[in-house]
Amino acid sequence: MEEENKVVESAPEAAKEPENVAAHEVSKMNEEEIQLEKADAEYTATNIQVLEGLEAVRKRPGMYIGTTASAGLHHLVWEIVDNAIDEALAGYCTEVHVSINEGDTITVTDNGRGIPVDLVAKSGLSGVETVYTILHAGGKFGEGGGYKVSGGLHGVGASVVNALSEWLEVYVHKDGGIYYIRFENGGHPVERLKRIGDCNDTGTIVTFKPDPKIFVESTTYEYTVIRDRLRQVAYLNRGIKITVEDKRHGQEQKESFRYEGGIKEYVEWINKNKEPLFPEVIYCEGSEPIELASGTISHVYAEVALQYNAEYSANVFSFCNNVHTHEGGTHEEGFRLAVTRVINAYARTQKMLKDNEDNLAYSDIVEGLTVIISVKHPNPQFEGQTKTKLGNFEVRKILSQIVGTQLERFLNENPKLARQIIEKIVNAANARLAARKAREEVRRKGGLDLATLPGKLADCSSKKPEECELYIVEGNSAGGSAKEGRNRETQAILPLRGKILNVEKAQSKRIFANAEIGNMITAIGGGIDPEFDVSKIRYHKIVIMTDADVDGSHIRVLLLTFFYRFMRPLIEQGYIYIAQPPLYKVEYHQKQYYAYTDEQLELIKKQLNLKPGYPFQRYKGLGEMDASQLWETTMDPKQRKMLRVSLDDAIQAEQVFTDLMGDNVDPRKEFIHANAKFVKNLDI
């Protein structure tokens, strides 16, 4: 073992050409003591620099992982998984296993080549130590070698995970040996990489414990969050087997994902509760060479899968390097150009669209269409407010060409399906024209006129959207209390009468004619999709306030569905909130105590030392509260609780909304049962 321990204690001469000298050979060299000391000195110097780098990450974790809340905690997992996926995309790894262990540590195992263990010339450290301690070291290995695509949102590197971990351990199986290193306290190596045994397989096993000093809010991992993301990664990277396992006591579970059909299966899965127009999934794929700044030639790979269903909403989801590009970008633009061009040309040659008729619009083409666009790019540029918009200009043309030629071929080879598609699109175009007419009608009657705010709206006096809040309130009586109790300067109230229209089931013509919806559109002021303009909205907080019962949650889902379909940026940019009225009131010695959960009620009873049977009020609806109570418990910015609705996983949301609002009744029933959980996890 003694001999093996010298892996990284090699002489500087050897370090100059590490790619030619295997680590174990280096270790066997008979080195002069003096050289060893020199290497040690260099190691110490590197080490100081390295630790300064990692310290910077610990000082400002938000700069690297966005947040130290739950999303950041999970980001650590994506980071390590990305490395394994890169190894799979390079063609050397077929399986990735992720386990959540007792104590909320994470282990990621892959059967790739194993992270290099020999010296890296530039760093003077072993490959493993380089990857886990030098910021942005990941890319250096990939260049010239395999298919290295990580970057963008993830791709900050494994060293960031190490920096934010209480401890991190790596085992590498490679060249017949098992190598081990452990880091503590944000990336300090306990010992240098050493060979601890023999093996006849290859791969990398990483385990880390997020540092509770960094993740102060919580260090508890959510199985479903990890499961959902890994399922998505498996869909986006066909053939890779990804397993997720929860080993924590009492919640043991395990699921495996492997999709030979990749994104073709992904669109089928998204559409599983929708009625398809026809079962076929249209699939296009291709790659184009691209020159990197370094002069080396790499490739951009693109694939698109689409399936029509009998519904009306458009669902275009795009990805670059497995990152969901919420804000779209050049890949979506290329797709849009291609389908608009090809569909119109085909419709005209088939005389399904006459010479004197207007072109079919992109919005007509994507009505009832589910699309996955996935691009792998060696040097992605992410732009936009949330850095989820692909900016590489060359991608537009690549997508346009690939989709253009292959969609055209599909239409020519499948004339029956092509006819069905064009008929559906022509229908959508007719409905759009009818809707425009209906809208103009409503406008003429004063309904959608932005200049005339709805009479039911009690507007606030401030005109600064940043400080203005719109409360959408269920029922007229609660609306009355809210109007009376509010802060008139910044809080506006829009009461809703009964249930709003289910937009999931209605064609746009009916949607625009609906008075409640018209009122909301006018009050919010940004118009609606496809012309929705978030910069014009009149309130930066739009608060849904409904009763804490089944009807209330139904109305809430109807409203969320409406926002999701017609004003999606409101959700994407975090402008939608759910008010949290209390469930109980306890009166004791002329003082009121409010409880928002059953647990809180128990706590209050205990703290006040109340006898069993002491009366308390259970609020059945907002209407039971008077104006001052409603203000105090639910609307006062200093005291209220609100949930911000986020769109972490638009695809999950897509399924939730189709399940809840579509024709398929069973999933809706299921939801009513799971309602409590949904309300708790409003991160849809």
Active centre residues (catalytic):
474, 547, 549, 551
Number of C-beta neighbours around residue 516 at 10 A? 21
Is residue 110 part of the contact set for ligand 0RA (CB under 6 A)?
yes
Interaction mask 330-349, ligand 0RA, x per CB under 6 A: --------------------
Minimum Å distance from CB 49 to ligand 0RA? 22
User: Judged by CB, which is closer to ligand 0RA: 98, or 115?
Assistant: 115
Measured CA to CA, the distance from residue 4 to residue 625 in angstroms comes to 74
Is residue 113 part of the contact set for ligand 0RA (CB under 6 A)?
yes
Among residues 654, 644, 651, which one has the least CA distance to residue 681? 644
Minimum Å distance from CB 241 to ligand 0RA? 15
Sheet holding 617-618, edge to edge: 591-595, 584-588, 617-618
Measured CA to CA, the distance from residue 528 to residue 519 in angstroms comes to 12
Minimum Å distance from CB 254 to ligand 0RA? 21
Among residues 551, 543, 603, 600, which one has the least CA distance to residue 576? 543
The continuous run of DSSP H or E covering 364 comes out as helix 362-365
Minimum Å distance from CB 148 to ligand 0RA? 8
Measured CA to CA, the distance from residue 129 to residue 600 in angstroms comes to 48
Minimum Å distance from CB 431 to ligand 0RA? 50
Q: What are the tokens at 160?
A: 């960031």
Minimum Å distance from CB 128 to ligand 0RA? 9
- Residue choice 18, 72, 116, 262 for contact with ligand 0RA (CB under 6 A): 116
Count residues near ligand 0RA (CB under 6 A). Answer: 12
- Cβ–Cβ under 8 Å, residues 369 and 314: yes
Residue with structure tokens 């043991």? Answer: 252
Minimum Å distance from CB 116 to ligand 0RA? 5
* Angle in degrees, CA 67, 71, 74, rounded to 5: 115
Minimum Å distance from CB 231 to ligand 0RA? 20
Quote the radius of gyration of the chain (alpha carbons, Å).
Answer: 29
Measured CA to CA, the distance from residue 290 to residue 395 in angstroms comes to 10
Measured CA to CA, the distance from residue 332 to residue 335 in angstroms comes to 5
User: Judged by CB, which is closer to ligand 0RA: 181, or 647?
Assistant: 181
User: Judged by CB, which is closer to ligand 0RA: 82, or 367?
Assistant: 82
Is residue 141 part of the contact set for ligand 0RA (CB under 6 A)?
yes
Interaction mask 561-600, ligand 0RA, x per CB under 6 A: ----------------------------------------
Task: Map the footprint of ligand 0RA across residues 359-378, applying CB under 6 A.
Answer: none
Task: Map the footprint of ligand 0RA across residues 28-87, applying CB under 6 A.
Answer: 83-84, 87
- Cβ–Cβ under 8 Å, residues 533 and 527: yes
Minimum Å distance from CB 203 to ligand 0RA? 7
- Residue choice 61, 112, 368, 404 for contact with ligand 0RA (CB under 6 A): 112
Measured CA to CA, the distance from residue 266 to residue 78 in angstroms comes to 20
- Cβ–Cβ under 8 Å, residues 285 and 303: yes
User: Judged by CB, which is closer to ligand 0RA: 137, or 338?
Assistant: 137
User: Judged by CB, which is closer to ligand 0RA: 137, or 282?
Assistant: 137
CA 594 remoteness from chain centre? 35
**Could you tell me which stretch among 30-38, 108-116, 190-198, 445-453 binds ligand 0RA (CB under 6 A)?**
108-116
* Strand pairing class (106-110; 203-210): antiparallel
- Cβ–Cβ under 8 Å, residues 75 and 154: yes
Is residue 474 part of the contact set for ligand 0RA (CB under 6 A)?
no
Residues whose CB falls within 8 Å of the CB of residue 413, separated by 6 or more in sequence, listed in order? none
Measured CA to CA, the distance from residue 577 to residue 646 in angstroms comes to 9
User: Judged by CB, which is closer to ligand 0RA: 141, or 179?
Assistant: 141
Q: Write the DSSP symbol of residue 635.
A: I
Secondary structure (DSSP) of 392-445: -THHHHHHHHHHHHHHHHHHHH-HHHHHHHHHHHHHHHHHHHHHHHHHHHHHHT
Sheet holding 541-545, edge to edge: 491-496, 469-474, 541-545, 576-579, 642-644
Is residue 486 part of the contact set for ligand 0RA (CB under 6 A)?
no
Interaction mask 203-242, ligand 0RA, x per CB under 6 A: -x--------------------------------------
Is residue 169 part of the contact set for ligand 0RA (CB under 6 A)?
no
CA 667, 673, 677, 683 torsion: positive or negative?
Answer: positive
**Could you tell me which stretch among 112-120, 406-414, 507-515, 639-647 binds ligand 0RA (CB under 6 A)?**
112-120
Minimum Å distance from CB 115 to ligand 0RA? 4
Minimum Å distance from CB 118 to ligand 0RA? 9
Is residue 130 part of the contact set for ligand 0RA (CB under 6 A)?
no
User: Judged by CB, which is closer to ligand 0RA: 110, or 459?
Assistant: 110
User: Judged by CB, which is closer to ligand 0RA: 83, or 655?
Assistant: 83
- Residue choice 115, 230, 233, 601 for contact with ligand 0RA (CB under 6 A): 115
**Could you tell me which stretch among 114-122, 553-561, 578-586, 593-601 binds ligand 0RA (CB under 6 A)?**
114-122
Minimum Å distance from CB 7 to ligand 0RA? 15
User: Judged by CB, which is closer to ligand 0RA: 144, or 279?
Assistant: 144
- Cβ–Cβ under 8 Å, residues 223 and 251: yes
User: Judged by CB, which is closer to ligand 0RA: 81, or 428?
Assistant: 81
Q: At CB < 8 A and 24+ separation, what contacts does 246-253 make?
A: 246/99, 246/100, 247/99, 247/100, 247/101, 247/102, 248/100, 248/101, 248/102, 248/104, 249/102, 251/223, 253/223
User: Judged by CB, which is closer to ligand 0RA: 117, or 460?
Assistant: 117
- 614 residue type, one letter: Y
User: Judged by CB, which is closer to ligand 0RA: 141, or 631?
Assistant: 141
3-state helix, strand, coil in the chain (%, to 5): 40, 20, 35
Which positions touch ligand 0RA (CB under 6 A)? Answer: 83-84, 87, 110, 112-116, 141, 145, 204
